Every structure is written in structure tokens, then in C-alpha cells.
Amino acid sequence: MTPPPAGAGAWDFGAELRALDAAQLRRQRRVIDAYDGPRLRIDGRDMLAFCSNDYLGLAQHPALVQAAREAAARWGTGATASPVLCGHSRAHEDLERELAAFVGLPRALYFYAGFPANAGLVPALAGRGDAVFSDALNHACLIDGARLSRAEVQVYAHRDVDDLARRLQACRARRRLITTDAVFSMDGTIAPLRELLELAERFDALLLVDDAHGFGVLGPGGAGSAAAFGLRSPRLLYMATLGKAAGVAGAFVAGADDAVEFLMQRTRSYIFATAAPAMIAETLRASLRVIAEESWRRERLRELVRMVREHDRWPAAWRLGDSETPVQPVVLGSNEAALDAMRRLWEQGLWVPAIRPPTVPAGSARLRLSLSAAHQPGDLRRLLLAVDGIAA
């Protein structure tokens, strides 16, 4: 069969791509040939990167690499089927128990990735006739989960508990689910989790927290944002991902026993997906031990965050975000300005990606500095000096 002619009728992909180019929204994927912590060889160039979510610098940790090697030798590489069809490995069983203990909640359920976890959890919790309340800056997978749920979706203003309270008060839905990022991925801001949980209690609602950027980083021993706020309630469902600070892959949801058992029964992205390899579970078990033991990594992060906050020579048109976390946004406004700054840093061997819509609201294109315990303070000084050079 001959393929249809390019640019046919409703399927003119070429025109779609040209429109992305014109709006400076075309994304480019660079090819990484080698990693050494934040030092990458990309497209043949040695770069110092500030774009990874490997906040604790664990993605190449020798203890994790060793655990992966041993587990591959013992278990092989594949998991063969859905965990509810064929069974899940002893490694996953142990990991789930350790994850629950790590975050101080009764039970945990492991997923192969964070996006499908939230895209499945929200529809498992809410359906037609229910309502989902979603922070305006929530991650795409919470948004898509809400859309899939067929529940009424109410978007409340970013971190605005008064707006949320008014909406809950006025809502007649049978069940009400509040969803929020704990640390917002493109702003680094922290959700008012204590107030959100109070609203959940007051309005007979449930709170689903996505801690992709807080797990391992915030809270005692890296136990995450909910632990940092000391939250305990059967109305709390805590979800976090394991491909960022934990340095491996996957995600989990934790909460009350019955709630987690219900989610295992009803989450389609859990039931109809192949389990993750046991190798991944064993590597994550090693990661949990390192996260708890090597607290210097969290101290290093705090030091780096302080250095960014105390830097006072940002170009006049750049606005540093209001973040106490390793996600440090510098908002430039237009796509063009953000891309231009990105290119000028790239020329100096510094890889700081520009984030554009639809990842962030229109007119708030930014550089997103992502700090890692694998950065030396000298690495960050090099970046800040380069920024001064752009300003001059």
C-alpha cells in the first residue's frame, strides 16, 4: 500500500509542525551519550546540566547499581504479566511494605510509573456525579485523570484554600476529591497541605497528594511532604514517584489499608498493565536505605537552594520564583526570551532548559533550574557567574 500523500485534508501534520515552529513551541530532543551525575555528554558536547530531577544524585549510586545487577542475575529482566493476573514478586511485596513504613502510612501500592498512577487513581476514586477539585498548576497526569473520571472538574486558584472552600461549600456532588501536587513541578512552590486536609475533613472529602518532587527531599529522613507537615488521616492518599529523587523508576500510592486495597481492585492502569521488573523493586529497596542514611545529600541541596536565593544579580527582566525547594524557576515571560537565555547558557556549556506553554501558563516561559546533591557548590557558582555575564 502507498502511504497517503503528505498534507492530506484533516491530517496535515506538516502544517501543524510549522505552526509549532512559528510559536517557538517545537520541542527538540537532544541525545545524551554519557552521564556522570550532572555532567552529561550531549550531542557530542560536555555539558553541566541543571535539568535532571535526580535531586539526591542517586541515579548512578554504586549501592543501587549493585542491587540492580544482583537482582537481574536472580530474577531476570521482565515481570511477564499484570500483578493481579500472574502475581507480583516477593521483591515488590517487600518494597510496598518498606515504602509504607518509609512514609509512615499503613499500606502502599507500587506502580510502574507516576503518570499512569495518577491517570488511573483519579478515575478509580471519582466518577459520574462526583466532583474533582484540582489546583490550577497541577501536573498533567492529575488533570488527565480528572478528565478520564467523567466527574465534574473544578479548578481552584493556585494554593488558594479560600477559593477551594467556597467551591466545596457550593458543591452538591455525592463524593468530593481534592487533588494537588505537594511541590509544584514547574514552580517549586509547596501546597498548603495542612489546610487542604482540614478542608477534606470539614467537607467529607478525600485529599490525593502527588509528591513527585518532595519524596526523598523533604520531611524527616526524606519521608516526603506529608511527613514534613506531620499529616495523618484516613482522608489522605499520598502518592509519590520513584524516578526522581529515588533515582530509579515507578511510583506508589499509600494510605489506609482499605483505601489502598480498593485502589488495587479498581485502578485500571494498575490492573491492565504489566508489572515492573523485580530488578526495579530490589533497586528501589536499596534506594530507600540510601535516602534514609545519607542525610548529607539533603543538606547539600539546602545549601544549593540557599545560594540561588541569596544571589542578587539576576537580569532586571528575570524574576526568581518563590521556591524553597530544589526546583528554582526563573521566569522570563516570552518563549523567545527564555529560548534565547537557554541558548546563551548552552554556548557556555551549561544546560538549563527553557520551559514553555503548555507546560507553564502562556507568558510565563522560564528557565527551570533543577538542583541536585550531585552538584558541587562550585558548579552552581559557575552557572550564577554565567547569568551575571548575560545580564552585563
Ligand X SMILES: *Cc1c(COP(=O)(O)O)cnc(C)c1O
Report the 10 Å Cβ neighbour count for 2. Answer: 4
Binding of residue 96 to ligand X (CB under 6 A): no
Which residues does residue 67 pair with via DSSP β-bridges, in sequence order? none
Choose the stretch contacting ligand X; rule: CB under 6 A; options: 109-117, 124-132, 257-265, 284-292: 109-117
Annotated catalytic residue, options 61, 88, 92, 213: 213
Q: Which amino acid is at 10?
A: A
Choose the stretch contacting ligand X; rule: CB under 6 A; options: 27-35, 114-122, 313-321, 340-348: 114-122
Binding of residue 109 to ligand X (CB under 6 A): no
Q: Which CB sits closer to ligand X, 143 or 199? A: 143
Asked if the peptide bond before residue 358 counts as cis, ω within 30 degrees of 0, the response is: yes
Q: CA 127: distance to chain centroid? A: 25
The DSSP H or E segment spanning 286 is helix 278-293
Binding of residue 210 to ligand X (CB under 6 A): yes
Q: Which residue has its beta carbon closest to ligand X?
A: 114
Binding of residue 212 to ligand X (CB under 6 A): yes
Answer positive or negative: Cα dihedral of 300, 302, 305, 309: negative
User: Which one of 115, 229, 238, 351 is in contact with ligand X (CB under 6 A)?
Assistant: 115
Q: Which CB sits closer to ligand X, 353 or 386? A: 353
Closest by CA position to 308, among listed 219, 225, 372: 372
- Give buried/exposed letters for 243-281 (b at 16+ CB in 10 A, else e): bbbbbbbbbbbbbbeebbeebbeebebbeebebbbbbbb
Q: Is 323 a catalytic residue?
A: no
- At its nearest, how many Å lie between ligand X and the CB of residue 377? 26
Binding of residue 135 to ligand X (CB under 6 A): no
In Å, how far are 49, 138, 326, 366 from 54, measured between CA atoms?
A: 11, 21, 10, 20
Binding of residue 181 to ligand X (CB under 6 A): yes
Annotated catalytic residue, options 61, 88, 92, 244: 244
Count residues contacting ligand X (CB under 6 A)? Answer: 14
- At its nearest, how many Å lie between ligand X and the CB of residue 381? 27
Q: Is 213 a catalytic residue?
A: yes
Q: Is 134 a catalytic residue?
A: no
Query: What gap in Å lies between CA 132 and CA 352, rounded to an integer?
Result: 35
Closest by CA position to 217, among listed 231, 228, 230, 233: 228
Site for ligand X in 238-267 (CB under 6 A): 241, 243, 251
Contacting positions for ligand X (CB under 6 A)? 113-115, 118, 139, 141, 181, 185, 210, 212-213, 241, 243, 251
Active site residue ranges:
185, 213, 244
